Amino acid sequence: MEQQVKQNYIEAGRVIQKARKKAREVAEPGTSFVEIAETVEQLIRDEGLRPAFPVNLSVNEEAAHFTPAEDTERKLQEDDVLKIDIGAQSEGYIADTALTVNPSGKDQEIIDEVEKVLEEALDFLEPGVTVGELGTFIEKQVPDDYNIVQNLTGHSLGNYTQHAGLSIPNKANTNSYEFQEGDAVAIEPFLTTGTGTVKNGRDGNIYKLESERSVRSRTARQLMKKIKNYRGLPFTTRWMDLSGKEKMAFRKLLQQNIVRNYPVLQDRDGSVVAQAEHTVLVGADGGENVVTTRR
């Protein structure tokens, strides 16, 4: 890995460490989801970087892909199990992390267990380990009381690419790819009291440019210029301050599959999902892993 690339990953991780701390501080009962998301995102900007994607705030049976709109009124409740997924990018090199909070402590056990599974996975990961071996190891760490979410995976990271082609399942698999020194990957187990399989739910207000096809409308063309500023990374309408005409144009971009919507991923109603995630530069420090998002 080139030194400058490594430094960009480390810088993104440095800021994310601060963002994780801020997220824990602000995620108090009664705080609005808009305030939680925007406070964490603003910290990233104040540190001189940009969010790599909107802060995800997924609750209870939801596993991923919800961020509030500017008019979302929901506030954090004491018993909510809130997944906070945060990303920052430095010159397009991404630090991706997630933590789970439960203000009342009622479901703290599943949170402690998923964090333990992540830490054990990070200790096991090293150059030469295969994706299949890592998945098998992770699955074996899961307590009998919970299921691993089988259709959500860790992933490789690339320049301006949050999911760079390599999927890293948290279960036994036959992928023989051997992790290489300098690989940038996000390891993210999910535990659940539900089925272990998530499905698409409601729209989550997270979007991504899917195609750069030309559009006729002048308003749509101007909107496309705004969207291209995200360099192919996910974004939210909360960042865009859309006019009435732009909102109509945005809907047309969705209908034409030029922009993609990420639906919320969720397990069965009434279940609880917990997530933990860190970004790792495999063997990047003299053969030792660099976990950029953890002190």
Which of the residues are catalytic?
85, 96, 155, 163, 188, 277
Do β-strands 167-169 and 82-90 pair in parallel, antiparallel, or remain unpaired?
Answer: unpaired
Alpha helix (H) residue ranges in 141-215: none
Whole-number CA gyration radius for the chain:
19
How far, in Å, CA of 13 to CA of 126, rounded?
A: 19
How far, in Å, CA of 180 to CA of 171, rounded?
A: 20
Q: Using alpha carbons, select from 252, 190, 255 the residue that is nearest to residue 217.
A: 252
Phi, psi for 32 (deg, rounded to 5)? -70, 150
> 85 has which bridge partners?
56, 98
- Please name the helix (run of DSSP H) or strand (run of DSSP E) that holds residue 228, with its range, or none: helix 218-228
Task: Name 153's Cβ contacts closer than 8 Å, sequence gap at least 6.
Answer: 167, 168, 169, 170, 188
How far, in Å, CA of 6 to CA of 40, rounded?
A: 24
